[in-house]
């Protein structure tokens, strides 16, 4: 390689007569020491620097790979926890819906039971009231019978006191009606 550079430099100087830049001018002694310094630096770097650097890079790669594996495990655990949370949330929603439905059914049953009890109580009160009304009507009818019986007895007494012709008969009926106590009949009717 040095020979090629030297030949190229000589060829350029011979052709054009131009001078080569001192930077590009080949100096065999300098080239030898440059190559020797490069090889010595490579040996030293390989022996003392590249090994520890490579070990540090390998250690760092292992740490990064471990961190990635750990992150993937944590991500998988987080996804599992999220799925578990979603399942628990769905279960809680289903349970809440069931509780709401049970409460609604219990409330509907309670309302139906209260309505049924109220209807039964209303029917019982209706029957009791109808019984009281019948009793009052029966009492009024009894009082009315007693009043009619008394009037019949009074009319019969008057009839028996004298024999009556048609004119007397009409007068007797008129007298009985006039003597009839309408206020008493109204009280009897109002009391029922």
Tokens of residue 186, six digits? 């109204």
Q: What ranges in the chain are assigned the alpha helix state H?
A: 2-16, 28-44, 51-161, 166-179, 182-191
pLDDT in tens, 135-161: 988 888 888 877 777 777 777 776 666
DSSP state of 50: I
**Mean pLDDT, each 10-residue run in order, the chain (192 residues):** 59 58 78 92 90 90 95 94 94 94 94 93 92 89 78 71 68 74 61 58
pLDDT at residue 126 in the model: 92
Distance CA 116, CA 144 (A): 41
Alpha-carbon distance values, 177 to 103, 136, 151, 171 (Å): 72, 26, 9, 10
Domain boundaries in the chain? 2-191
Whether 144 contacts 188, CB under 8 Å? yes
Q: What is the C-alpha separation between 155 and 146, in angstroms, rounded?
A: 14
Whether pTM exceeds 0.85 = no
């Amino acid at each position: 390689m040095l020979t090629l550079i030297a030949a190229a430099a000589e060829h350029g100087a011979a052709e054009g007569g131009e001078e080569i830049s001192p930077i590009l001018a080949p100096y065999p002694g300098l080239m030898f020491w440059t190559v020797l310094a490069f090889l010595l630096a490579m040996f030293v770097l390989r022996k003392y620097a590249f090994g520890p650097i490579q070990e540090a890079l390998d250690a760092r790669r292992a740490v990064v790979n471990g961190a990635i594996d750990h992150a993937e495990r944590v991500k998988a655990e987080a996804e599992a926890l999220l799925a578990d949370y979603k399942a628990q949330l769905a279960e809680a929603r289903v349970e809440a819906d069931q509780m709401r439905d049970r409460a609604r059914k219990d409330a509907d049953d309670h309302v139906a039971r209260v309505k049924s009890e109220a209807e039964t109580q209303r029917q019982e009160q209706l029957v009791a009231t109808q019984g009281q009304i019948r009793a009052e009507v029966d009492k009024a009818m009894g009082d009315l019978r007693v009043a009619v019986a008394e009037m019949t007895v009074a009319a019969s007494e008057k009839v028996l006191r004298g024999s009556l012709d048609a004119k007397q008969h009409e007068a007797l009926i008129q007298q009985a009606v006039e003597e009839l106590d309408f206020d008493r009949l109204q009280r009897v009717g109002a009391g029922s």
